[in-house]
Chain A
Amino acid sequence: MPFIPNTDQQQQEMLKAIGLTMEGLFGDIPAELMAKSFDLPAGLSEQEVRSRLADLAGKNSVDLTLFLGGGFYDHFIPSAIYSIISRSEFYTAYTPYQPELSQGTLQAIYEYQSAICRLTDMEVSNASLYDGGTAMYEAMMMALRITGRNKVIIDDSVNPIYRVMIESYTRNLKIDLDETHCVNGLANRAEILGRLDDQTAAIIVQNPNFFGCIDDVTDLAEAAHAKGALLIVSCYPISLGILKTPGAMGADIVTGEGQSLGMPMSFGGPYLGFMAARKQHVRRMPGRVVGETTDREGRRAFVLTLQAREQHIRRDKATSNICSNEALCALTALVYLSLLGKEGLKETAQRCADKASYAYQRLTAIPDVQPHFRAKWFFNEFVLDLPCEAADVIAKLIEKGFAAGFPLSRYYEGMENSMLICVTEKRTKQEIGMLAEALESVL
């Protein structure tokens, strides 16, 4: 039997030592509760399973040229990442409960927390959460705990996938979730300020937002603080290679999806939710946290810390029910940021912006193709208005080998003809030119 080493003879020896039969070992389960049989297939050999899964992998279209983003990005992944995270000392370990046996994982998480703080200009970070959406939900819950209030304002330029998640998570809770509607591609100041009051726990925005537009939300931070509320900013970590940081804008909690930092898209996961915050909120922050200390010989050592916030100690009074993090994904992000380094991340971000800018010029030069927003600045995504239904155009472009963008009508009323286009550093000038030709040909 695969992966089970005890031989029949060893099993008999062990049963003899125990003094029971194999049936006897399951004698504590009432007989009527034992399953009669299982309608499951017979086991396969490794060769068979690899062959079957290779066939299934072949039924997925991964040869399309991707201009599809929407918060989940096709960035270049350096080879050294896979080598490092494939070391089984990392991936076959568990949560570092025994620090002497886990200094590798613990130091890596401490370094990850440091890298996230440096990237976002924040003071504290946790060891990671499941994904960008659950990180935003946890940040919202954290703001409710910090302020003791129950109202949250979220602008609809925040990724709609995260907004539907937050709506789902709060259905059974007494939270007043107020959605504002962006204008000209930027968070709606008039609506947000109009609804901000002394019951508001937090304003949630995203930068660059779902449409790729870049904002400076310093004014929203100031307005929130004046009312005793917090500003939560979700961000795209690659963009922070060049963009003004949420920390510099006065954000109180910063979250985001870390997939772009060296993780493959993998059809939706595993991904990485990151969270950083101001120091004064650290004890209200959810999730694992690693701290530096010394051992009894005075040597530098790392341990899980602030555990009194967590479920295994605080149970129903914990800051969150989370019991793990996405450690291997956090490691991936850390290795990515280390390999690119200070200049490499900046160059990558600039390259994304340059290519998107080039694509924008090429595509808006096509007759009847117009930019949707008047907002001037975008990072590596932008919205185009077509003379006809975007979903239809995108379907036609798939036949030409392009995943050309995302049809916004799926989440936004009145945007039937609009598509969101994403350009990462991986796309070439030639590919962009071919997309422009293909788009023109199907209009």
Chain B
Amino acid sequence: MKLLFEKSVPERRGVALGPSDVPTTININEELLRGRSAALPELSELDVVRHFTELSRRNFGVDTNFYPLGSCTMKYNPKVAERIAAYPGFAHLHPLLPQLRMGGMLTQGALAILYDMDLLLREITGMAGFTMQPMAGAHGELTGMMIMAAYHRDRGNGKSIILAPDSAHGTNPASAAIAGYRVVTVPSDANGVMGIEALKKELCEDVAGVMLTCPNTLGLFNPHIREICDLIHSVDGLAYYDGANLNAIVGKARPGDFGFDIVHINLHKTCATPHGGGGPGAGPVGVGEKLVPFLPVSIVVKRDDGTYALEYDRPKSIGYVAPFYGNFGIVLRAYVYILMLGAEGLARVAENAVLNANYIRCKLKGYYQPAVDTVCKHECVFSTTEAMAKQGIHALDVAKALIDRGFHPPTVYFPTIVKEAMMVEPTETESKETLDAFIAAMIEIAELAERDPEQLKAAPVTTCVSRPNETAAAKNLNIASLSS
């Protein structure tokens, strides 16, 4: 398909500005102007609409296909949230208004939502206070690490180590390192979770904290979670809960009750806001009582007269991690979702996410190698079998064959501690019929691996491109079409 720039026709126009009602004054010195116009495409509005409509048809989304991408929680995104986010009262609200004198009164609706969301997330997680500023899960992790560092600095602790399990998302060690910590990896035990003995081996006074996803990337709830938090606390360390998988326990159990001190929630996962092709998301961070003073500024407070205000005077705060109040438009969508589900709905979310994952686990375990053969939470992990390996069939081949059958593949080759991993997360918004069709396709592929492995290696054959050469892409780097 041609690039936008290759469709450009000199002097063709899309949007016209109309005549100006003020004189054109040459008010800028010519030496400060660009020599020639930016080489942007010259297209009609229809050209642009057709181009992007054609591009959109080269994408799978949750609205078009089952998308069981493990750890990413590709659930349905309710349309009402999109509609509400577009209300002019929200979309056209300038973020600097509250910084004007009495300006908070101009944004009472937005501040009320931020305040209310703080209360709802506290109750859902068992934490004492939230910031909505982090703009993604990884950004929440970094914020959490900054809060951890500020806490230790305040206590005069010279700690330098963060512990993370070998099954952790790559963002955990990366976030800790960027916040200035050294990361020590703790191996998983035979049951696939961080074990007490392995943790004790690494535990010392220099440990600032631990980062854990629970349930973890194998979909397993760590039965020792409370003890792990207690052990970390015994060296004045803090326990960080990566909320990437909160959707498995939402409405059922709370990380605050497990003993965690800091929590982030991926609103684009648990609270059904759209993934947008890779963002924008939101990663609010919640903390226990003793860490509330370290939260970023500003914080929304409710005054005695019932009005809302932004509080900036927080001397122990880590400062600003976002320019304003985070991705307000995303927080708003998540707020709508929580209001619609309520307490009972959230519990049904976890139940059906877990039910769907276990259904797939049980139906496929005779055909693929389960990473761990026990009850899982929201996702289950399989490997290709030894028989498949003998035929030269890898997880990637299974993934590509699923594409030809109309399914987005599971996450493959993650977690890295499982060879040939396929991580399946169906989510609660999928029906038994959809799961049955997926299971049938997976079984058909397993049988083809024996009978006709070449067919799998040739997949996908139904898409506009097939197995692009990634090595060549990195070697002969072409990441922008530059104007000549």
Residues of A within 8 A of B190 (CB): none
Report B130 CB to chain A, min CB distance, Å: 15
CB of A412 closer than 8 Å to a CB of B: no
Closest to B52 in A: A84
Q: Do A72 and B95 have beta carbons less than 8 Å apart?
A: yes
CB of A347 closer than 8 Å to a CB of B: yes
Residues of A within 8 A of B65 (CB): 101
Closest to A334 in B: B4
Report which residue of B113, B136, B149, B221 has the largest number of chain A beta carbons within 10 angstroms of its beta carbon.
B136
A residues 129-180 near B (Cβ < 8 Å) are 130-134, 141, 161-162, 164-165, 167-169, 171-173
Chosen A-B contacts, 11 in total, with CB atoms closer than 8 Å, are A15-B355, A41-B339, A49-B339, A104-B58, A105-B277, A127-B278, A267-B93, A295-B469, A323-B136, A353-B27, A395-B100
Q: Do B479 and A103 have beta carbons less than 8 Å apart?
A: no
* Interface residue total, chain A, C-beta cutoff 8 A: 211
Query: What is the bound-complex CA distance between A243 and B37, given in angstroms?
Result: 9
Report A115 CB to chain B, min CB distance, Å: 6
CB of A367 closer than 8 Å to a CB of B: no
CB of A413 closer than 8 Å to a CB of B: no
Residues of B within 8 A of A391 (CB): 100-101
Q: Do B48 and A339 have beta carbons less than 8 Å apart?
A: yes
CB of B90 closer than 8 Å to a CB of A: yes
- Please give me the 10 A-B residue pairs with the lowest Cβ-Cβ distance, nearest first: A57-B89, A168-B319, A268-B324, A43-B342, A328-B276, A270-B280, A59-B109, A92-B61, A301-B468, A104-B59
Query: What is the bound-complex CA distance between A25 and B325, given in angstroms?
Result: 38
Closest to A26 in B: B252
Closest to A348 in B: B17
A residues 29-77 near B (Cβ < 8 Å) are 29-30, 32-35, 37-46, 49-50, 52-62, 64, 66, 68, 70-72, 74
A131 in contact with B88 given A60-B109, A111-B3, A269-B329 (CB within 8 Å): no
Query: What is the bound-complex CA distance between A35 and B249, given in angstroms?
Result: 10
Q: Mark B356-378, 1 if CB is under 8 A from A, else 0.
A: 10110111000000000011010
Q: Do A100 and B403 have beta carbons less than 8 Å apart?
A: yes
A-B contact count (CB 8 A): 697
CB of A110 closer than 8 Å to a CB of B: yes
Q: Do B25 and A357 have beta carbons less than 8 Å apart?
A: yes
Excluding A18-B359, A324-B136, A325-B278, 16 further A-B contacts by CB distance (< 8 Å) are A28-B377, A33-B253, A45-B340, A86-B82, A162-B323, A168-B296, A266-B93, A267-B94, A269-B326, A270-B330, A302-B468, A305-B474, A322-B138, A324-B281, A354-B25, A394-B101
Q: Do A341 and B42 have beta carbons less than 8 Å apart?
A: yes
Report B44 CB to chain A, min CB distance, Å: 9
Query: What is the bound-complex CA distance between A296 and B78, given in angstroms?
Result: 38
Q: Do B327 and A270 have beta carbons less than 8 Å apart?
A: yes
Closest to A265 in B: B94
CB of B318 closer than 8 Å to a CB of A: yes
Q: Do A316 and B173 have beta carbons less than 8 Å apart?
A: yes
B residues 330-357 near A (Cβ < 8 Å) are 330, 332, 336, 338-349, 351-352, 354-356
CB of B183 closer than 8 Å to a CB of A: yes
Closest to A240 in B: B38
Q: Do B37 and A270 have beta carbons less than 8 Å apart?
A: no
Residues of B within 8 A of A297 (CB): 465-466
Q: Do A91 and B330 have beta carbons less than 8 Å apart?
A: no
Q: Do B107 and A60 have beta carbons less than 8 Å apart?
A: yes
CB of B195 closer than 8 Å to a CB of A: no
Report B427 CB to chain A, min CB distance, Å: 10
CB of A114 closer than 8 Å to a CB of B: yes
Q: Do A18 and B17 have beta carbons less than 8 Å apart?
A: no
Query: What is the bound-complex CA distance between A108 and B52, given in angstroms?
Result: 8
Query: What is the bound-complex CA distance between A215 and B32, given in angstroms?
Result: 7
Residues of B within 8 A of A118 (CB): 38-40, 482-483
A28 in contact with B253 given A92-B275, A216-B32, A315-B174 (CB within 8 Å): no
Q: Do B60 and A28 have beta carbons less than 8 Å apart?
A: no
A89 in contact with B28 given A4-B352, A101-B463 (CB within 8 Å): no
Residues of A within 8 A of B278 (CB): 94-96, 105, 127, 288, 324-327
**Among the listed B12, B137, B347, which residue makes an inter-chain contact with A323, where contact means beta carbons less than 8 Å apart?**
B137
Closest to A397 in B: B100
Report B367 CB to chain A, min CB distance, Å: 15
Q: Mark A259-275, 1 if CB is under 8 A from B, else 0.
A: 00000111111110000
Q: Do B324 and A53 have beta carbons less than 8 Å apart?
A: no
Closest to A355 in B: B22
* Interface residue total, chain B, C-beta cutoff 8 A: 207
Closest to B357 in A: A25
Q: Do B363 and A172 have beta carbons less than 8 Å apart?
A: no
Q: Do A338 and B51 have beta carbons less than 8 Å apart?
A: yes
CB of B34 closer than 8 Å to a CB of A: yes
Q: Do B252 and A42 have beta carbons less than 8 Å apart?
A: no
B residues 446-470 near A (Cβ < 8 Å) are 460, 463-470
Q: Do B96 and A105 have beta carbons less than 8 Å apart?
A: no
Q: Do B42 and A312 have beta carbons less than 8 Å apart?
A: no
CB of A293 closer than 8 Å to a CB of B: yes
**Among the listed B177, B340, B344, which residue makes an inter-chain contact with A317, where contact means beta carbons less than 8 Å apart?**
B177
Residues of B within 8 A of A441 (CB): none
CB of B146 closer than 8 Å to a CB of A: yes
Residues of A within 8 A of B321 (CB): 134, 165, 168-169
Residues of B within 8 A of A315 (CB): 170, 173-174, 183
CB of A5 closer than 8 Å to a CB of B: yes
- The segment out of A189-197, A220-228, A403-411 that lies at the interface is A403-411
CB of A387 closer than 8 Å to a CB of B: no
CB of A318 closer than 8 Å to a CB of B: yes
Residues of B within 8 A of A403 (CB): 94, 97, 100
Query: What is the bound-complex CA distance between A91 and B52, given in angstroms?
Result: 13
CB of B220 closer than 8 Å to a CB of A: yes
Report B247 CB to chain A, min CB distance, Å: 12
**Among the listed A98, A114, A288, A342, which residue makes an inter-chain contact with B482, where contact means beta carbons less than 8 Å apart?**
A114
Report which residue of A89, A131, A335, A403 has the largest number of chain B beta carbons within 10 angstroms of its beta carbon.
A89
Closest to A91 in B: B274
Query: What is the bound-complex CA distance between A143 and B103, given in angstroms?
Result: 38
Q: Do A161 and B40 have beta carbons less than 8 Å apart?
A: no
Q: Do A49 and B106 have beta carbons less than 8 Å apart?
A: no
**Among the listed A89, A327, A339, which residue makes an inter-chain contact with B63, where contact means beta carbons less than 8 Å apart?**
A89
Residues of B within 8 A of A91 (CB): 61, 77, 82, 274-277
Q: Do A323 and B171 have beta carbons less than 8 Å apart?
A: yes
Residues of B within 8 A of A400 (CB): none
**Among the listed A78, A216, A354, which residue makes an inter-chain contact with B20, where contact means beta carbons less than 8 Å apart?**
A354
Query: What is the bound-complex CA distance between A320 and B82, given in angstroms?
Result: 30
Q: Do A102 and B59 have beta carbons less than 8 Å apart?
A: yes
Report A356 CB to chain B, min CB distance, Å: 8
- The segment out of B232-240, B284-292, B383-391, B429-437 that lies at the interface is B429-437
**Among the listed A27, A282, A300, which residue makes an inter-chain contact with B477, where contact means beta carbons less than 8 Å apart?**
A282
A300 in contact with B1 given A33-B225, A266-B329 (CB within 8 Å): yes
Residues of B within 8 A of A40 (CB): 120, 123-124, 338, 342-343, 346
Q: Do A292 and B473 have beta carbons less than 8 Å apart?
A: yes
Report which residue of A43, A98, A310 has the largest number of chain B beta carbons within 10 angstroms of its beta carbon.
A98
Report B282 CB to chain A, min CB distance, Å: 8
Query: What is the bound-complex CA distance between A49 and B341, given in angstroms?
Result: 11
**Among the listed A55, A293, A342, A344, which residue makes an inter-chain contact with B17, where contact means beta carbons less than 8 Å apart?**
A344
Q: Do A35 and B257 have beta carbons less than 8 Å apart?
A: yes
Query: What is the bound-complex CA distance between A131 and B326, given in angstroms?
Result: 10
Q: Do A3 and B78 have beta carbons less than 8 Å apart?
A: yes
Q: Do B465 and A100 have beta carbons less than 8 Å apart?
A: yes
Q: Do A30 and B472 have beta carbons less than 8 Å apart?
A: no
Query: What is the bound-complex CA distance between A344 and B109, given in angstroms?
Result: 36
Report B297 CB to chain A, min CB distance, Å: 9
Q: Do A394 and B431 have beta carbons less than 8 Å apart?
A: no
CB of A245 closer than 8 Å to a CB of B: yes
A58 in contact with B326 given A4-B348, A114-B480 (CB within 8 Å): no
Q: Mark B395-426, 1 if CB is under 8 A from A, else 0.
A: 00001100100001101001000000000000
B residues 34-81 near A (Cβ < 8 Å) are 34-35, 37-43, 45, 48-49, 51-53, 55-65, 67, 69, 72, 74-78, 80
